[in-house]
Amino acid sequence: MAKGLWQSGLDDWYGPGTRVVQRVRGYRPNRRGQIKLARWLRVGLLRGLSCVAACAVLVLAVDPSVVHPSVGEVERSLVCAFVLAWASFLWRGSLIRVVLRPGEIVRHGVWRHVVVPCSDVKELHRNSWRGGLVLETRTGEKVDFLWFDQSFWDLLYDFSDVCAHAMRCHARAASTSGRAEVSAGLQRRFTWSLGADLLAAGATVFLGLALLAAVRG
């Protein structure tokens, strides 16, 4: 996959001619043969905010004196639950990415991921209405990649074009190598995340504590 994709596919230039961008542009498969395309600046920012929110909840839970004495246990638990719920959502937002793996293109969203066999890829084109990148299958189904287009990151490094070009080359390389002959069809599955799910579980616990305190009160 690496040879077909990166030696024949990404010869065009993306972004300014700086050494930093040249190194960033050099995507390589990991040990599993997968190539992950993600806006790592957004990933770092969202996960950083999520960790800050979780730390704030931890401080609030351990030391109630940080809030005004008039704030009761119910209100404090509700605040913790609300903050953890937002932290879970922010973490899930950081999961948005595209994974190119042997014979498949996988788009990870906030809640679900879509597995598209390369044999089902008909074309990748720009949506005439919204302008976003759309993958169309041979059966007429469409997969939207709007989250990967037209962002601030593109001013420095044309990630939108890299993502589109890489997916086209990956599908073409899989077809020529024979990996795309057998198709299981397009699949949509729920995306599990250890970080996001733990934060959501914490929000549920604090919500239960708030209800328990309200009943006792």
32-90 pLDDT tens trace: 878 888 877 788 999 999 999 999 999 988 887 776 677 678 888 899 999 999 999 99
Tell me what pLDDT residue 5 has.
44
Higher pLDDT, 21 or 201: 201
Task: Kindly indicate the confidence band of residue 105, based on its pLDDT and cuts at 50, 70 and 90.
Answer: very high
Give me the pLDDT at residue 49, please: 96
Full DSSP string of 119-136 = GGEEEEEE-TTT--EEEE
Among all chains, which residue has been given the structure tokens 């069809």?
185
Q: What is the pLDDT of residue 8?
A: 38
Distances (CA, A) of 100 to 52, 70, 82, 142, 189: 31, 54, 35, 17, 17
Single pTM value for the model: 0.79
Percentage of the residues of the chain whose pLDDT score is greater than 90: 30
SS3 sequence of 30-56? CCCCCEEECCHHHHHHHHHHHHHHHHH
pLDDT (0 to 100) of residue 125: 83
Neighbours of 174 (CB within 10 A): 25
50, 87 Cβ separation under 8 angstroms = yes
- Cα separation of 132 and 145, whole Å? 7
Q: Could you give the C-alpha distances from 171 to 17, 154, 179, 216, in angstroms and in order?
A: 28, 23, 10, 60
- For residues 44 and 47, give the distance between their C-alpha atoms in angstroms, rounded to a whole number: 5
- Rg of the chain over Cα atoms, rounded to whole angstroms, equals 22
Output the pLDDT for position 1. Answer: 43
Residue 169 has pLDDT above 90, yes or no: no
pLDDT band at 28 (very low <50, low <70, confident <90, very high): low
Q: Higher pLDDT residue, 33 or 93?
A: 93
At 147, the pLDDT band (50, 70, 90 cuts) reads confident
